[in-house]
Structure 1
Amino acid sequence: MEFYPMPLFVKLSVSNMESSLIWYKDVLNFNPVFEFPGKDGKTVMAHIRGKKYQDVMLVSATEQNDKESNGKGVVINFNVEDVDLFSDRARAASAEVIEGPINRPWNARELVLNDPDGYLITLSMGIDKEKAFDDVMDQVNHNKLC
């Protein structure tokens, strides 16, 4: 496992560390970088990673954290090579699929999932990697007018 300074990472408060770790592994193919145990030996913090620079820190919710607010208004976007492969993984793991896979006007194919704590996860891949940015913007603007 490669170690590097993370220029940015997301920290998510989770209600059940064990089920969250399983979900991120089975659905998104994330693997643990390290896990930090609490006094009882159970993991209270886990650094997990998908591809390079797709680092997420899972932290066990505490009484001070408002467990009811987890996931509200939070959408995390991950760039992937094959959205349809992740769609198959998600369905096989009985993950909650919110939308997709769907082709977007901004030249992206996306899959939107709900993780166990209500965080929206968008998996996105470019459709036409040769398409110029101006052409993508023209397509987006055309769709706004329709």
Structure 2
Amino acid sequence: MIAAQMYLPQVLALVALSFVTALAILVSRVVDLVRNDRALSYYEDFTGRAAPLLVLRTTRQLANQFEFPVLFYALVAIAIAIPVRDPLIATLAWCYVALRWAHALSHIAFNRLYVRTPIFMLGNVVLLGMWLALALVVLT
């Protein structure tokens, strides 16, 4: 199995999360415009009364998809380029993706910090484990 085959499914699953989140933003904004008779200018300049929580949560979640996950994408790009074919890294990548999906769903659906924060932190620990595993493979 080549390195790209080992890691690309996880990357595609995380990319899918970004697109699903973007679609949720679009749907929530359209629903907000229709239900609340909000002016389109609100979404052009973000002025006026605040948007509903669902709009705010989905928008913030999409921003979250380009914070720590950037380290995931960088790691996978390096692993494919070198190439590194490590089953541990591939398994941790699936764990990371599952935790990112769980974080996004909990953030958008009910947003309780006592649920969302441990998921977020565990995901970061998994990502750190991936980087340590990559370092061990490459540097030894």
TM-score relative to the length of structure 1: 0.23
User: RCO (CA 8 Å, sep 6+): is it higher in 1 or 2?
Assistant: 2
Higher percent of residues as strand: 1
Structure showing greater radius of gyration is 2
TM-score relative to the length of structure 2: 0.24
Higher percent of residues as helix: 2
